[in-house]
Amino acid sequence: MSFSSPTARIEDGLFLPEGASLFTRLRVAVRALKVLEKKPDDGIAAPLFNASLDGDVFQRLCTELAKSEDGRELLIQRPSLQRSNIDLAALGRLPEGTLGNAFARYFSDNGIQPFESPYEVRNDVDYLVKWYRETHDLHHVVTGYGTDALGEMELQAFAAGNLGLRTSILILLFAAVLRPHGLPPFWKYARKVRAAYRRGQRTERLVRMRYERSWEATVETVRQQLRIPPLSPA
């Protein structure tokens, strides 16, 4: 399947033409990443970043999902966890330790809001890219990785191991070179990234989980369902 821009912002060079070459896709990915450095929730740069390098990866994931009943149901029903579909106040009233309560507390503790995007869904691949973006904050909750610079890189390494995302590898390389504030010495960074990558490899696909059906389950139960190994000691 050819993968092109589901949406674009021409003035910023954020456009992926049909059948783009590897060089063009890499150029678009770097431009999108630079936008995301300043505005992590940019509704055009975020999905386009994934589309530029991981279109075929998400296609393979869709094919994999279509082989199971729960995967087919996900692709048919296309649930959404954008801001307009989440009642954080109601989730915050759920018992402590539940996924819903932890998710609501995650947003209040970090002073942020759920993901919202004008991303156009034209097919299953577009949808899965959108679903991956929408569940990013839940991935923090279930993996236990923080939202500081190191925690974000650990989650990217986890996603690289779990889903095979090239964009995650690109982010990790940029961080290793640019050394954003908050990262530990390189030797510790490399050790943490390697551990997170291996942990992701041993976990069920994060995109398979119907998180919206598990708000009342404990976070630990969801981790067990995903077979997420315990975090290694610091």
pLDDT at 1: 46
Q: Structural domain boundaries of the chain? A: 1-78, 83-116+135-234
Q: Quote the tokens at residue 83.
A: 């801001």
pLDDT at 187: 92
**pLDDT tens-digit series, residues 5-34:** 555 555 566 777 677 777 787 888 888 888
Tell me the mean pLDDT in the region 153-166.
97
Q: How many percent of the chain have pLDDT more than 70?
A: 91
This prediction's pTM:
0.87
Q: CA–CA distance from 224 to each of 80, 85, 175, 176, 217 (Å)? A: 23, 26, 31, 32, 11
**Cα–Cα distance measured from residue 176 to residue 168, given in angstroms and rounded to the nearest whole number:** 12
CA dihedral 231, 88, 70, 66 (to 10 degrees): -90
**Cα–Cα distance measured from residue 10 to residue 78, given in angstroms and rounded to the nearest whole number:** 28
Tell me the mean pLDDT in the region 154-177.
94
pLDDT at 142: 98
Pick the more confident residue, 4 or 207.
207
**Cα–Cα distance measured from residue 30 to residue 177, given in angstroms and rounded to the nearest whole number:** 14
Tell me the mean pLDDT in the region 104-111.
95
**pLDDT tens-digit series, residues 30-49:** 888 888 777 776 767 777 87
DSSP alpha helices (H): ranges in the chain? 22-38, 45-65, 69-77, 88-92, 99-110, 124-134, 136-143, 149-163, 166-178, 186-201, 219-226
Q: Which of 113, 152, 115, 109 minimizes the C-alpha distance to 132?
A: 115
Mean pLDDT rounded to a whole number for the chain: 89
